[in-house]
């Protein structure tokens, strides 16, 4: 068996966690009704309702782009618009899918310093134009944690929700790393979502340790109307739905979802601690979830790559390191030691830090 060493370019470089794998195996017995009529899908939806302490509507999609795009489409008419941050995945990484699936609802992009939306930014965009010639603002989408690895505190979510209510806007949350956010804040999923005014949540399973699959949770029941048809039309209705649903059952019922979120966050913090104070290296954002963004000179980035490390620089030019559910302390230490070596601090010093 050959295994390639861990990289921290993306949390999606990781494989499948044992709980999700075991659930697939367990679901792989006998025949079950197709298209979500199976017992696993019922159990997974119930597990979400139990976890979120409310009778929300639950749907399963293959990936986050589909989950976000379809969720936003369900909140919009084609002439509506969606307010998002300039760093939002829906804007930068979904190839226009939200506009495509909504038949043209335009994304209105707010410039931000750190990827986080604020009530003031939302208000500025929503009130900039109110005439018939401009697409009518209808939804705000926030990413929790943000693409920059930051966390919206509960009072920040509540303030955004308050602004949304005032302006007649719905609130969508892209929770591709929802588990990391819950682990970071130490609050309940309910507190972070419907209790704070979120109408629809996309809860990421893939980055949490599953092979594939995201859940779309509607706390606003009316918005969920005919969402099953929307999924089907978009090619997102799994015929063997039990294999999308079963991993959720085990992830949620065992608490693995939160444990892995916490592990990934701790890994990011540990990496940041390992390299704290290195000359020429600057943290671009505080480490609040499972991402570490480093501002490093090109020469250091090149040297890191020469040593075999993979990482992206697509957000603000910084080197992004993402830590997955299975991030290995040993591998994190190796990366830190390479950075120490490149920056000219003696290796012994590099090993002193935890
Ligand atoms: C990974 C990610 C998604 C989902 O991306 P897919 O590749 O479509 O599964 C959505 N939003 C954010 C913020 C992400 O990081």
Cβ–ligand 1 contact at 320 (below 6 Å) = no
Q: What is the pLDDT of residue 350?
A: 47
Model confidence at 335: pLDDT above 60: yes
Alpha-helical regions (H) of 113-255: 119-128, 154-167, 178-185, 189-192, 227-233, 242-254
| Digit-coded pLDDT (tens) for 35-74 | 999 999 999 999 999 999 999 999 999 999 999 999 999 9
At the topology level, CATH places domain 18-255 in 3.40.640
What average pLDDT does the chain have? 95
**Is the Cβ–Cβ distance between 304 and 270 less than 8 Å?**
no
CATH architecture of residue range(s) 257-351: Alpha-Beta Complex (3.90)
Overall pTM > 0.75: yes
41 with 353: CB under 8 angstroms? no
pLDDT value of position 183:
98
Point out the ligand 1 atom lying closest to the alpha carbon of residue 12.
Answer: 1
Which band of pLDDT confidence, cut at 50, 70 and 90, is reported for residue 315? confident
Counting residues of the chain whose pLDDT is more than 70, the rounded percentage is 97
How far, in Å, from the CA of 210 to the mean position of ligand 1?
A: 13
Q: Please report the pLDDT score of residue 2 as a whole number.
A: 63
pLDDT (mean) for 308-324: 92
Domain layout of the chain by residue ranges: 18-255, 257-351
At 317 the pLDDT is 77
Structure tokens at 57: 């509507």
The predicted model gives 114-119 an average pLDDT of 97
Instruction: Say if strands 80-85 and 136-143 run parallel, antiparallel, or are unpaired.
Output: parallel
For residue 41, CA distances in Å to 62, 173, 233, 238, 272 come to 14, 23, 20, 11, 39
Ligand 1 center to 86 CA (angstroms): 15
């Amino acid at each position: 068996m050959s295994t390639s060493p861990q990289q921290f370019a993306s949390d999606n470089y990781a494989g499948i966690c044992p709980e999700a794998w075991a659930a697939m195996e367990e679901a792989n017995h006998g025949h079950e009704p197709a298209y979500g009529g199976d017992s696993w899908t019922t159990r997974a939806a119930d597990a979400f309702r139990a976890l979120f302490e409310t009778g929300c509507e639950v749907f399963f999609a293959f990936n986050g782009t589909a989950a976000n795009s379809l969720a936003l489409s369900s909140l919009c008419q084609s002439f509506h618009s969606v307010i998002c941050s300039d760093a939002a995945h829906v804007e930068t990484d979904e190839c226009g899918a939200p506009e495509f699936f909504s038949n043209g609802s335009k994304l209105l992009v707010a410039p931000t310093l750190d990827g986080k939306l604020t009530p003031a930014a939302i208000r500025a965009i929503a009130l900039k134009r109110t005439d018939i010639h401009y697409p009518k603002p209808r939804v705000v989408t926030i990413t929790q944690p943000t693409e920059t690895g930051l966390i919206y505190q509960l009072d920040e979510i509540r303030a955004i929700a308050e602004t949304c209510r005032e302006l007649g806007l719905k609130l969508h949350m892209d929770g591709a790393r929802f588990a990391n956010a819950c682990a970071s804040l130490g609050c309940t999923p309910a507190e972070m979502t419907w209790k704070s005014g979120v109408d629809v949540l996309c809860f990421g399973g893939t980055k949490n340790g599953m092979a594939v699959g995201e859940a779309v949770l509607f706390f606003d029941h009316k918005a969920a109307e005919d969402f099953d048809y929307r999924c089907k039309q978009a090619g997102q209705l799994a015929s063997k739905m039990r294999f999308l649903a079963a991993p959720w059952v085990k992830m949620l019922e065992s608490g693995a979802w939160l444990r892995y979120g916490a592990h990934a966050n701790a890994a990011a913090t540990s990496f940041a601690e390992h390299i704290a104070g290195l000359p020429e290296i600057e943290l671009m954002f505080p480490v609040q979830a499972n991402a570490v963004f480093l501002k490093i000179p090109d020469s250091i980035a090149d040297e890191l790559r020469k040593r075999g490390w993979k990482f992206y620089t697509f957000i603000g030019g910084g080197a992004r390191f993402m830590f997955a559910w299975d991030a290995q302390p040993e591998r994190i230490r190796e990366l830190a030691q390479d950075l120490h070596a490149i920056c000219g601090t003696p290796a012994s010093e590099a090993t002193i830090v935890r």
